[in-house]
Amino acid sequence: MGSEVGPGARQIGPIGTVARVCVGAGLLIFGFAGEPSPLELVAGFVLLPAAEMAALLVLRPAGSEPFHLYGAVGYAVNFGTAGLLLAVWTTPALLFYGASIVLAVVKGYAGREILARSNLLRRRDDQLACAAFSPIDALESAPRDRTQ
């Protein structure tokens, strides 16, 4: 799950793609429905991505191995971060997460929804488990029974 299968290969199947489009678009719609202020727009599309990039540059400097956080630790990091951001800065968080998920769809990323920007800009393969999409990706990537 989430590993590269070839240069530019899509890692998400049709169900995972549709699920991500719906969730990403939904988050963006909710974010824009609140008529965000200019500060909220800058926060969602510039400040939060920059903070993510800065944190990852400190935690995973250039040349370090990619991290793949799956299971309980990955879910805890993902839920904790999302919960905190949504509680403190709802509209920018909705815009940040919505844009991240839509970018993951465009790039075909599995396991990198929230890290899509930093992975693209840094040419990395960092992965963080997502309770919503990881099970879908696992089902779509499971070997099919060919005896039917």
DSSP type of residue 115: T
Query: Global pTM?
Result: 0.84
**Could you count the other beta carbons within 10 Å of the beta carbon of residue 17?**
16
Q: What is the pLDDT of residues 93-131, one digit of tens each?
A: 999 999 999 999 998 888 788 888 988 888 888 888 888
Domain residue extents for the chain: 14-139
Question: In the prediction, which pLDDT does 40 show?
Answer: 97
3-state secondary structure of 131: coil
81's enclosing H/E stretch is: helix 71-88
